Amino acid sequence: MSYNDAYEYLDEHTKERDPIIESIINGLIESAKREGKRGLPMIINRNPTINFGGIVGVYCVGISSGYTMSISLQIITGLAADFDGVA
């Protein structure tokens, strides 16, 4: 599947849970764990990246129903993140 085809598929199928997408993501996570990692290595970057800690390496260990990443509140300070605008 080309990148363009994959992007179009994701755009069409991420409005609700898709078992194919979940299977792919969970497969990547399990593959990383079989390689001895704690999960799928990822990078979180909060722009502008001007301070030490603006980029953080983390491991994805699972997915939520909305394909979003939950992160530990302990890294929010390093990213200079907060909860402004959250209802």
pLDDT by position in tens, the chain (length 87): 888 888 888 777 777 777 888 898 899 999 999 999 999 998 888 777 666 667 888 898 888 776 676 777 777 777 777 666 654
Residue at 82 is within a domain? no
- pLDDT given for residue 67 in this prediction: 67
Is residue 86 in a domain?
no
Residue 30 belongs to a domain: yes
Residue 87 located in a structural domain: no
Q: How many domains does the chain have?
A: 1
Is 81 inside any structural domain?
A: no
C-beta of residue 76 within 8 angstroms of C-beta of residue 82: yes
pLDDT of residue 11: 79
Query: Which domain range does residue 27 map to?
Result: 3-75
Calculate the CA dihedral of residues 54, 59, 61, 64 and round it to 10 degrees. Answer: 20
Q: Does residue 61 lie within any of the structural domains?
A: yes
Residue 83 within any structural domain of the chain: no
Q: What is the pLDDT of residue 53?
A: 67
